[in-house]
Structure 1
Amino acid sequence: MNKLKILLGTGFYSGYLPKAPGTFGSLASLIFIYPILQAQNFYFIILFALICSLISLWVSSYFEQAFGEDPGMLVMDEWAGQSLVFLSISMTGVLKTDLIVLLAGFLLFRFFDILKPLGINQIQKYKGGIGILADDILAGLYALISLKTLIFMWPKIFGIV
């Protein structure tokens, strides 16, 4: 069971990549998020975020016991937060513009997740799985708002219009 928790908690081992495991974990999640977005079904991305959140909560106590408080290799919380960035974002079907949207969403999520502004740092202080997950959920929601704003302000950059 612990091997399954490690497999899932590390985002299929993407959290083991050296230097910035959260960044690599977030990037790896896009491999799953992009096909979900191409399906153009709002409920699939919600389901993915929910599954990632539940997995994060399930494995977090094991990771904290085995590796210490909020261990870097635990990236399933990043997967949950990263997926929320694209909650109401539509793909164009054109690879170039879709990649621009994915890159913008990724960078915005990493910005909020690393710097932790606007209360994200405060919410991270909760102990256990909730604290591990909640800051990424909030970072994902802030990144979603920012991405939607950027798409609205500069639609041509994002291949809309």
Structure 2
Amino acid sequence: MRLLKLTLGTFFGSGLLPKAPGTWGSLFTLPFIYAAYLIHPVFGIAGFAVIASLISLWSTDVCVGKYGDDPGQFVIDETAGQTMVFIFTAFHYDTTANLILLFAGFIIFRLFDIFKPLGIVRLEKLPGKIGILADDLAAGVYALICLELLKSLLGSLLI
């Protein structure tokens, strides 16, 4: 069970890559988000966000025990946050448009996750596993709002 928690907590090892593990974890999440949408266009992404959040809470203790407090290698929380960005996104048959949407949401999420504006940093200070997850979920919600605004402003260029 410990190995499973470490594997999922590092999102299949993406958090073990050198330099910027949160960025790697978020990037490796994108194909899973797209697959979740293809599996169920209405609830797939939201379901994936819930599952990633639950796995984050479940695997935190083992990863913290191995890597330390709020470890960089633990990226399943980034997976949950990155997934939040796309909850209202409808992908289309145009691969280029889908890639643009995924890339835009990825960049916006990483900016919120790295710089932690608008109270996100306070959520990170919540105790234990809740604080580890909450800041990423908040970054995801802020990025979701920005992506939806961007889609509204740019219209057919992004969809």
The CA deviation string for residues 22-81 of structure 1, in whole angstroms up to 9 with x for no partner, is 000000011211122234522111110011000000111111122111000000000100
Matching residue of 1:9: 9
Tell me: CA distance 1:91–1:60, structure 2 relative to 1, closer, same or farther (3 Å).
same
**Residue 20 in structure 1 maps to residue 20 in structure 2:** yes
The CA deviation string for residues 84-140 of structure 1, in whole angstroms up to 9 with x for no partner, is 100001112110010000000000000000000000001100121100000000000
Matching residue of 1:72: 72
Q: Using the alignment, how far apart are the partners of 1:5 and 1:39 within structure 2?
A: 25
Matching residue of 2:112: 112
Q: How many angstroms does 1:9 deviate by? A: 0.4
Q: Using the alignment, how far apart are the partners of 1:36 and 1:50 within structure 2?
A: 12
Matching residue of 2:55: 55
Q: Using the alignment, how far apart are the partners of 1:43 and 1:26 within structure 2?
A: 20
Provide runs of 4+ in structure 1 moved above 6 Å. none
Matched to 1:130, the amino acid is I
User: What's the RMSD between the two structures over aligned residues?
Assistant: 1.0
Identity across the alignment (%) = 50
Scaled by the length of structure 2, the TM-score of the pair is 0.96
Q: How many residues end up aligned between the 2 structures?
A: 159
Unaligned runs of 5+ residues in structure 1 are: none
Residue 156 of structure 1: SS of its match in structure 2? Answer: helix
Matched to 2:81, the amino acid is G
Scaled by the length of structure 1, the TM-score of the pair is 0.95
Matching residue of 2:97: 97
Q: Using the alignment, how far apart are the partners of 1:22 and 1:124 within structure 2?
A: 15
Unaligned runs of 5+ residues in structure 2 are: none
Matches within 5 A, 1:74-153: 74-153=74-153
